[in-house]
């Protein structure tokens, strides 16, 4: 009995507030928009039942998405931005994780803390901090003008460059921590062996360190790529009118256009796109867990 | 391999500079006299004073703290239960679905979670306000709590619990007297994580809040959209200070707890 309650309470909670809402999103994505409150026509009517639902069923919101260029472009450009920024985060994060793993033992706890601390600080504030740095009269431009590297201010805020900087900055801890965890376990004698056998240090790094830290690289990349794909705050604060990301499109479809069925259809497709990287990520984690056993 | 090359030192220095300089600039300029946020015009705390008089911000801050306290507490209870079920529950009907529902919210884009919860609340006719934000925050943060707690439960020596049962404890007593004290650090860090996630959330709160309840991130977001302002810098500085003090205290406390636990274990081993 106690076991039943223990299982049932969190289970029912998640069913009611996680799974059922998705079913509703899916349902509304199939319904028609209407000027009403709520602004859509019910698609499933319990009285007329399942037969009527099937008879009425059309995928017009999804067809609408394929017909309007905006959505295609938004999905593609989100994927492109997520891919490029994941790669940049890896390039910035790997040397930091590597240096942390080589640091003396007594430093490591402090270094860890320094990486984790920004993660606890408000995401919104960390994105906001860059607005003052990247604007035309911001600190970066002041600094570059002062050093004489540039003579006219660069326009960075409200461009995709600012979005990339914001993503690398906010998601960096997600990349550093798994790579650090993989590198920390790395047996130093393997690298010595490689060097004894005639590898240069760079070659030993390339042939030994990188392959052995691969699980960390993969985990970190997914942890950045997956949430960035649906990111809303960064493109809306740092990006410009030309920054097209699907999270922002969904937000505007919902709050500005008040087209709930189309917003739901956008969400359903984003979910379908996300299933692939999420499954790959789960597999990577499982393989790692098995390898450890 | 405890020798840092010059390359390691450079990457650490640049890396931490990158992580911290933006926040340091923000903190410094919250004490700026001028309204122009990028030009230094002398030290002043007037923006903090103005912040304290801004009732809209104070109200929003109060709502945010209320939501965070309630949602993180419920989430800690539910998440600990879920972790216990995942690690100790054995097989039961729908276990795969259960663990899927625990892990899925961790990677779900917030816009989707927010949208789906809003549609649920409207579907069942629940007025949007503090209650709906609490429900929404509890749902996603209980998953984080359960991940944190289950990672501790996995490494937990089960024979301790069995010993308590053999010595005449009921299952509930064994949990309260043996299991809970041992997993307590994980439960506390789970609560802290849930609390900060709730304080920080903009997207899900925007979808699930109504006109009667505005949280601080929603307020900040709408102010920030218009540009950088010294008042927001002051507010951000306060929030950074609270989090920094909280995280450092929590880590010191948990360090001491682990140390004491180790000493206790060693003492017990000596006596045995």
Q: Can you give the CATH number for the domain in which A224 is found?
A: 1.10.3720.10
What is the residue range of A44's domain? 1-58
ipTM of the complex: 0.86
Site of tokens 């500079």: B17
Residue B138 counted as domain residue = yes
Q: How far is A115 from chain B (nearest CA, A)?
A: 8
Distances (CA, A) of A9 to A12, A14, B172: 5, 9, 17
pLDDT tens sequence across A177-224: 999 999 988 877 888 888 888 888 888 888 888 898 998 999 899 989
How much is the pLDDT for A55?
A: 56
Reply yes or no on whether the pLDDT at B264 is more than 80.
yes
Residue A21 has its nearest CB partner, among B1, B103, B120, at: B120
Residue B72 counted as domain residue = yes
Reply yes or no on whether the pLDDT at B272 is more than 80.
no
The total number of structural domains that make up chain A = 2
Residue B30 counted as domain residue = no
* Domain final residue pick, A23, A42, A58: A58
Residue A134 and residue A40 share a domain: no
How much is the pLDDT for A80?
A: 95
Q: Which position has the higher pLDDT, B253 or B26?
A: B26
* Domain final residue pick, A12, A42, A58: A58
Please tell me the distance from the alpha carbon of residue A113 to that of residue A251, in angstroms, as a whole number: 34
Reply yes or no on whether the pLDDT at A52 is more than 60.
no
Residue B264 counted as domain residue = no
How much is the pLDDT for B142?
A: 95
Minimum CA–CA partner of B113 in chain A:
A18
> Given an 8 Å threshold on Cβ–Cβ distance, is A6 in contact with B243?
no
Tokens encoding A79: 């994927």
Q: Does A71 touch chain B (CB under 8 A)?
A: no
Residue B91 counted as domain residue = yes
Residues of B in contact with A7 (CB under 8 A): 85, 89, 92, 98
| Average per-residue pLDDT for chain B | 88
Residues of B in contact with A124 (CB under 8 A): 200, 202, 217, 220-221, 224
How much is the pLDDT for A64?
A: 76
Reply yes or no on whether the pLDDT at A285 is more than 80.
no
Minimum CA–CA partner of A21 in chain B:
B116
Q: How far is B265 from chain A (nearest CA, A)?
A: 23
* Domain final residue pick, A58, A78, A106: A58
How much is the pLDDT for A36?
A: 53
Residue A172 and residue A156 share a domain: yes
pLDDT tens sequence across B108-167: 888 999 999 999 998 888 888 999 999 999 999 999 999 999 888 888 888 888 898 899
How distant is the alpha carbon of residue B146 from its chain centre? 13
Reply yes or no on whether the pLDDT at A121 is more than 90.
no
Residue A180 and residue A114 share a domain: yes
Q: How far is A102 from chain B (nearest CA, A)?
A: 5
Residue A106 and residue A53 share a domain: no
Contact A262, A61 (CB under 8 A): yes
How distant is the alpha carbon of residue A30 from its chain centre? 27
Residue B201 counted as domain residue = yes
What is the residue range of B63's domain? 57-228
Residue B139 has its nearest CB partner, among A17, A263, A267, at: A17
Residues of B in contact with A253 (CB under 8 A): none
> Given an 8 Å threshold on Cβ–Cβ distance, is A21 in contact with B117?
yes
Residue A113 and residue A207 share a domain: yes
Please tell me the distance from the alpha carbon of residue B77 to that of residue B146, in angstroms, as a whole number: 9
Residues 6+ apart with CB under 8 A from B207: A254, B111, B114, B115, B117, B118, B136
pLDDT tens sequence across A213-223: 998 999 899 98
Tokens encoding A293: 């056993």
How much is the pLDDT for B117?
A: 94
Residue B263 counted as domain residue = no
Which one, of B35, B21, B227, lies nearest residue A135 by Cα? B227
Minimum CA–CA partner of B196 in chain A:
A120
Minimum CA–CA partner of B96 in chain A:
A11
Reply yes or no on whether the pLDDT at A127 is more than 90.
yes
> Given an 8 Å threshold on Cβ–Cβ distance, is A105 in contact with B203?
no
Average confidence (pLDDT) over A35-60 = 58
How much is the pLDDT for A178?
A: 92
Contact A264, A60 (CB under 8 A): no
Residue A43 and residue A183 share a domain: no
Residues of B in contact with A22 (CB under 8 A): 116
Reply yes or no on whether the pLDDT at A27 is more than 90.
no
3-state DSSP assignment of residue A54: helix
Residue A89 and residue A44 share a domain: no
> Given an 8 Å threshold on Cβ–Cβ distance, is B94 in contact with A3?
no
Q: Does A76 touch chain B (CB under 8 A)?
A: no
Q: Where is average pLDDT lowest: A73-77, B93-97, B234-238? A: B93-97
The total number of structural domains that make up chain B = 1
How much is the pLDDT for B230?
A: 85
Please tell me the distance from the alpha carbon of residue A204 to that of residue B92, in angstroms, as a whole number: 49
Taking each helix axis as running N to C, give the angle between helix A69-102 and helix B6-29, from 0 to 180 degrees, rounded to the nearest 10. Answer: 120
Reply yes or no on whether the pLDDT at A49 is more than 60.
no
Residues of A in contact with B26 (CB under 8 A): 125, 128-129, 132
pLDDT tens sequence across A222-263: 989 988 998 999 999 999 888 889 999 899 888 888 888 888
Task: Give residues 20 to 39 of A whose Cβ lies within 8 Å of B.
Answer: 20-22, 24-25, 28, 38
Contacts 24+ apart (CB under 8 A), A154-157: A157/A131, A157/A238
> Given an 8 Å threshold on Cβ–Cβ distance, is A103 in contact with B98?
no
Residue A109 and residue A166 share a domain: yes
Q: Where is average pLDDT lowest: A30-34, A54-58, A281-285, B1-5? A: A54-58
Average confidence (pLDDT) over B234-260 = 84
With cut-offs at 50, 70 and 90, classify the pLDDT of residue B1.
Answer: very low
User: Percent of chain B scored above 90 by pLDDT?
Assistant: 35
Residues of A in contact with B124 (CB under 8 A): none
How much is the pLDDT for A40?
A: 66
Contact B254, B185 (CB under 8 A): yes
Please tell me the distance from the alpha carbon of residue B149 to that of residue B85, in angstroms, as a whole number: 11
CATH number for position B188: 1.10.3720.10
Residue A175 and residue A220 share a domain: yes
Q: Which position has the higher pLDDT, A237 or A30?
A: A237
Average confidence (pLDDT) over B99-116 = 87
Please tell me the distance from the alpha carbon of residue A17 to that of residue A2, in angstroms, as a whole number: 23
Residue A7 and residue A89 share a domain: no
| Average per-residue pLDDT for chain A | 85
Tokens encoding A198: 């005639």
């Amino acid at each position: 009995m106690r076991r039943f309650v223990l299982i049932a309470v969190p289970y029912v909670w998640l069913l009611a507030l996680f799974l059922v809402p998705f079913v509703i999103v899916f349902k509304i994505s199939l319904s028609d928009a209407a000027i009403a409150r709520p602004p859509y026509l019910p698609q499933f009517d319990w009285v007329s039942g399942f037969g009527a639902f099937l008879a009425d069923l059309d995928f017009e919101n999804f067809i609408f998405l394929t017909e309007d260029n905006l959505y295609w472009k938004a999905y593609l450009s989100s994927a492109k931005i997520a891919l490029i920024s994941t790669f940049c985060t890896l390039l910035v994060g790997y040397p930091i994780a590597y240096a942390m793993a080589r640091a003396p033992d007594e430093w490591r706890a402090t270094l860890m803390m320094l990486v984790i601390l920004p993660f606890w600080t408000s995401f919104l504030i960390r994105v906001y901090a860059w607005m003052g740095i990247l604007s035309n009269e911001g600190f970066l431009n002041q600094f570059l003008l002062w050093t004489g590297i540039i003579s006219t201010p660069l326009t960075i805020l409200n461009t995709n460059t600012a979005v990339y900087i914001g993503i690398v900055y906010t998601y960096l801890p997600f990349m550093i921590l798994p790579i650090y965890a993989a590198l920390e376990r790395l047996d130093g004698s393997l690298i010595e062996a490689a060097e004894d056998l005639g590898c240069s240090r760079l070659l030993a790094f390339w042939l030994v360190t990188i392959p052995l830290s691969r699980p960390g690289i993969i985990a970190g990349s997914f942890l950045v790529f997956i949430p960035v794909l649906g990111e809303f705050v960064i493109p809306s604060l740092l990006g410009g009118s030309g920054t097209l990301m699907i999270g922002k499109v969904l937000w505007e479809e919902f709050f500005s256009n008040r087209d709930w069925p189309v917003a739901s259809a956008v969400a359903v497709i984003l979910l379908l796109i996300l299933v692939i990287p999420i499954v790959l990520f789960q597999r990577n984690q499982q393989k790692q867990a098995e390898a450890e056993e | 391999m405890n020798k840092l090359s010059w390359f390691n030192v450079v990457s650490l220095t640049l890396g931490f500079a990158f992580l911290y300089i933006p926040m340091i600039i923000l903190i410094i300029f919250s004490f700026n006299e001028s309204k122009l946020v990028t030009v230094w015009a002398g030290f002043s705390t007037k923006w903090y004073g103005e912040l304290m008089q801004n009732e809209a911000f104070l109200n929003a801050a109060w709502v945010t703290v209320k939501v965070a306290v309630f949602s993180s507490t419920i989430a800690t209870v539910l998440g600990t239960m879920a972790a216990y079920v995942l690690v100790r529950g054995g097989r039961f009907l729908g276990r795969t679905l259960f663990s899927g529902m625990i892990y899925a919210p961790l990677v779900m884009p917030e816009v989707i979670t927010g949208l789906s919860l809003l549609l649920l609340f409207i579907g069942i006719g629940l007025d949007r306000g503090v209650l709906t934000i609490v429900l929404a925050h509890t749902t996603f943060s209980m998953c984080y709590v359960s991940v944190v707690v289950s990672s501790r439960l996995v490494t937990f020596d089960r024979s301790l619990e069995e010993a308590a049962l053999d010595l005449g404890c009921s299952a509930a007593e064994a949990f309260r007297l043996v299991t809970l004290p041992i997993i307590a650090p994980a439960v506390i860090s789970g609560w802290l994580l849930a609390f900060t996630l709730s304080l920080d959330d903009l997207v899900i709160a925007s979808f699930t809040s109504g006109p009667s309840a505005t949280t601080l991130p929603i307020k900040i977001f709408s102010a920030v959209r218009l540009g950088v302002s010294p008042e927001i810098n002051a507010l951000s500085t306060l929030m950074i200070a609270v989090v920094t003090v909280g995280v450092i205290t929590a880590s010191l406390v948990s360090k001491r707890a682990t140390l004491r636990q180790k000493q206790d274990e060693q003492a017990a081993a000596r006596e045995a």
